[in-house]
Chain A
Amino acid sequence: MISQKANNALQVHALEARAQTLGLYKGQPLANARAMVQPLAIVPADEKADAVLVEGIADWCDRFTPLASLDSPDGLLLDITGAAHLFGGETAMLATVTQSIARQGFAVQGAIAGTSLAAHALARYVPGTITPRGKDAEAVTPLPITALECGDKSLRALRHAGLKTIGQVGTRLHSELSERLGADFVTRLKVMLGAEEKPLQPRRALPDLMAEQRFAEPIVTEETIVASLLQLAQHLGEILERQGRGARMLEAAFFRVDGKVARITVRTGEPLRDPKVILRLLRQRLDALADPLDPGFGFDLIRLEALLAEETRPATISFDSNENARRQIGFLVDRLAARFGDARVQRFVPQDTHIPEAASVAVPAQDSDFAQQNWSLKRRPGDPPRRPLRLLGKPEEISAVLASVPDGPPSRFRWRRAQFDVARAEGPERIAMEWWRRSVGESQSDQNKAGLTRDYFRVETRDGQRFWLYRDGLYQQNGLAPRWYLQGLFA
Chain B
Amino acid sequence: MNNMAKLEGLRHSLARYGLPRDRPPVPLGCGSVDAVLGGGLRPGALHEVFARGWGSNGFGVLLAMLAAGTKPLFWVHPDYEAMEYGALSPGGLVELGGDPRQLVMVRARSPADALSAASDILACAHVGALLLELEGDPKCLDLVASRRLVLAAQESGVTAIMLRCGAQLEPSAALTRWQVASASSSPLDDDWGAPVFDVQLVRHRAGGLGRFLLTWNIEHGCFDTADTGAVAAAPADRQAYPQSRRAI
Give me the interface of A with B, judged by CB distance under 8 Å. 321, 324-325, 328-329, 331-333, 335-336, 339-340, 344-348, 350, 356, 359-360, 362, 365, 370-371, 373, 375-379, 381-393, 423-424, 426, 458, 460, 462-467, 488-491
Contacts and interface: CB of A to CB of B under 8 A. Distances in A.
Most buried by A among B94, B95, B99: B95
Interface of A is mostly: mixed
B154 interface: no
Contact of A377 (B95, B117, B184): B95
Nearest to B184: A464
Interface in B66-109: 71-72, 82-83, 85-96, 99-101, 103-109
Given A340-B108, A389-B61, A464-B232, A491 B216 contact: yes
B26 interface: no
Contacts of A336: 106, 117, 120-121
A339 B115 CA distance: 13
A332 B127 contact: yes
B110 to A, nearest CB: 11
A392 to B, nearest CB: 5
Contacts of A344: 106-109
Nearest to A383: B191
A466 B55 contact: yes
A346 B75 CA distance: 10
Given A347-B104, A393-B86, A458-B193, A329 B72 contact: yes
Contacts, number: 196
Interface in B29-81: 53-59, 61-62, 71-72
Contacts of B120: 332, 335-336, 339
B172 interface: no
Interface in B100-133: 100-101, 103-109, 113, 116-117, 120-121, 124-127
Contacts of B225: none
A332 B124 CA distance: 7
Given A332-B124, A336-B121, A348-B90, 9 more contacts: A344-B106, A350-B90, A375-B101, A383-B191, A389-B95, A390-B57, A464-B198, A490-B92, A491-B59
B55 A389 contact: yes
A385 B218 contact: yes
B121 A488 contact: no
Nearest to B93: A389
B28 interface: no
B174 interface: no
6 closest A-B pairs by CB? A491-B58, A384-B193, A390-B86, A385-B95, A389-B92, A491-B195
A335 B55 CA distance: 32
B241 interface: no
A258 B85 CA distance: 49
